[in-house]
Amino acid sequence: MENYPLLESIRLEDGRFALLSLHENRMQRSLHQLLGISLSVNLADWLQQFEVPQKGLFKCRILYGQKLKPPEFIPYIKKPITSLQLVDGEHIEYSLKYSNRNEIEKLYASKNFCNDILIVKNGCVTDTSYCNIAFKQNEVWFTPDRPLLHGVQRTYLLQQGIIQPAPIRQDELGEFSHFKLFNAMIRWEEAPLLDIQNINSK
């Protein structure tokens, strides 16, 4: 992992990459922030040199750093998430999509009977282990304004005005009725509508 400290996961469906420009933008920012360098290729052109599956849903997984590792195309099967365990993640830093996820995996181990965790920092909720989150209040959807990771799907939904950023404290969760989980592989319209009672604080 040392040669490839960063990771990007891109949705590939029936031969088409989703939100590719947003992924490239994030890769550029991450490389500049972590290593002080620029991405040396156009991502769309670079991907076309590989044998890209033309049918089905895949996760295109790219490890990168000074160089880009050839992509893996992994058949994607969505894991059903119906409940979240609130966990304290004050020590977690994941502002870049690092390939090393050890600290998050340690927190994930404390999910108890729930399917996943919801990480809390400074009294505010952030993300689950793999997803950004949004909460419904009346007909408006709010997403934490300080997520662990600024996901590309989150960026897209903010650009479209589907969700709005706001500080969301752990003790304010009862003010919302539902939540949705989303990431590069899970589009907004595919994300199940889950009751806020499915978040466990004990």
> What phi and psi, each to the nearest 5 degrees, are found at residue 155?
-60, -45
Report the DSSP pairing between strands 178-182 and 132-137. antiparallel
Predicted pLDDT of residue 174: 96
Which of 140, 150, 159 is closest to 184 using CA atoms? Answer: 150
Question: For the whole model, what pTM was predicted?
Answer: 0.95
Under 8 Å between Cβ of 68 and 60:
no
Domains of the chain: 6-75 (3.30.470.10), 84-200 (3.20.10.10)
User: What single string gives the DSSP state of each residue in the chain?
Assistant: -TT--EEEEEEEETTEESSHHHHHHHHHHHHHHHHS----S-HHHHHTTS----SSEEEEEEEESSSBPPPEEEE--PPP---EEEEE-TT---SS-BS--HHHHHHHTT-TTSSEEEEEETTEEEEESS-EEEEEETTEEEEESS-SS--HHHHHHHHHTSSEEE--BGGGGGG-SEEEEE-SSS-GGGSPPEEGGGEE--
pLDDT tens series, the chain, 202 aa: 578 999 999 999 999 999 999 999 999 999 999 999 999 899 999 999 999 999 999 999 999 999 999 999 999 998 899 999 999 999 999 999 999 999 999 999 999 899 999 999 999 999 999 999 999 999 999 999 999 999 999 999 999 999 999 999 999 999 999 999 999 999 999 999 999 999 998 7
Buried b (16+ CB within 10 A) or exposed e, 102-138: eebeebbeebeebbbbbbbbeebbbbbbbbbbbbbbe
Q: What pLDDT sits at residue 1?
A: 55
Amino acid at 194: L
First-to-last C-alpha distance (Å) of the chain: 35
| pLDDT recorded at residue 202 | 78
Structure-token pair, residue 177: 């009725």
